[in-house]
């Protein structure tokens, strides 16, 4: 593969990843992840 084609593939993957992250945040996924992380953390130190 030449460098230009490889750079285009990398750019496409970066854009796709950014779009998926934005879609997850817009869908409420960030809230779910933070809620689960809080529960795991409080259970681990014995508060839950």
d(C-alpha 21, C-alpha 15), whole Å: 10
pLDDT, tens digit (0-9, with 9 covering 90-100), for 15-31: 999 999 999 999 988 88
Single pTM value for the model: 0.63
Q: Cα–Cα distances in Å, from 44 out to 1, 35, 36, 38, 39?
A: 48, 14, 12, 10, 8
The pLDDT score that the predictor gives to residue 19 is 97
**Domains of the chain by residue range:** 3-44
pLDDT of residue 48: 55
Q: What is the pLDDT of residues 31-46, one digit of tens each?
A: 888 898 888 888 887 7
């Amino acid at each position: 593969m030449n460098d230009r084609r490889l750079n285009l593939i990398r750019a496409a993957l970066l854009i796709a990843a950014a779009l998926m992250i934005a879609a997850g945040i817009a869908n409420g996924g960030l809230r779910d992840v933070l809620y689960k992380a809080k529960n795991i953390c409080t259970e681990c130190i014995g508060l839950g």
